[in-house]
Amino acid sequence: MGLRHGGGLFVSGLTLCENAAMGAVQVQHYLGRARDFFNGMRLLRDDLPKYMSSSALLGIHSAISYSDALRTGMGCADVSSDDHRSAATDLRSRLSSRKFEKMQGAARLGRLLSKKNLIAYTSETRKASEIEEILKQAERFAAWAEETGRQLQIEGW
């Protein structure tokens, strides 16, 4: 298609800018949600005996949203999935393709995700020490994700 019919570099460049802007908006959406869940986790941690499951689930969902922000910022078009465990594999793959060396966050995400169904759906009571470990891992993942988003210079971070 020639310039007379709406083709050319200008239109293609405009489309790229629109796509980048939409990606940045999505990153900000997931990042805002991640920080919101994280702050909720920390707030409920102050009264852990009453809110053990809630604080743990907020920590896990914070990690999921941080992962969604990172993956979206690295070009993943669809982060919605019923199987969140695939998120850790996808994150690891995207980081590897960028030659990113600090991969411990992807492994930590996998461990956090493996706890989600135990906390959300089983009837047995979790020990406070297990919940504390989940919260500690969620805090470490959040710190890693924040640093990683900045280091990779993800649009919208």
What pTM, to 2 d.p., does this model score? 0.85
Distance of CA 110 to the CA centre of its chain: 12
For 118, how many CA atoms within 13 A lie in the half-sphere containing its CB?
14
pLDDT of residue 125: 87
pLDDT of residue 13: 46
Domain range summary for the chain, segments of one domain joined by +: 8-151
Q: How far apart are CA 108 and CA 86, in angstroms?
A: 13
CATH number attached to the domain at 8-151? 1.20.120.330
Confidence tier at 7 by pLDDT (50, 70, 90): very low
Q: What percent of the chain has pLDDT over 90?
A: 77
Q: Is the pLDDT of residue 58 over 80?
A: yes
Q: Is the pLDDT of residue 128 over 70?
A: yes
Per-residue pLDDT tens for 79-101?
Answer: 876 667 789 999 999 999 999 99
Residue 61 sits at φ, ψ, to 5 deg, of -70, -30
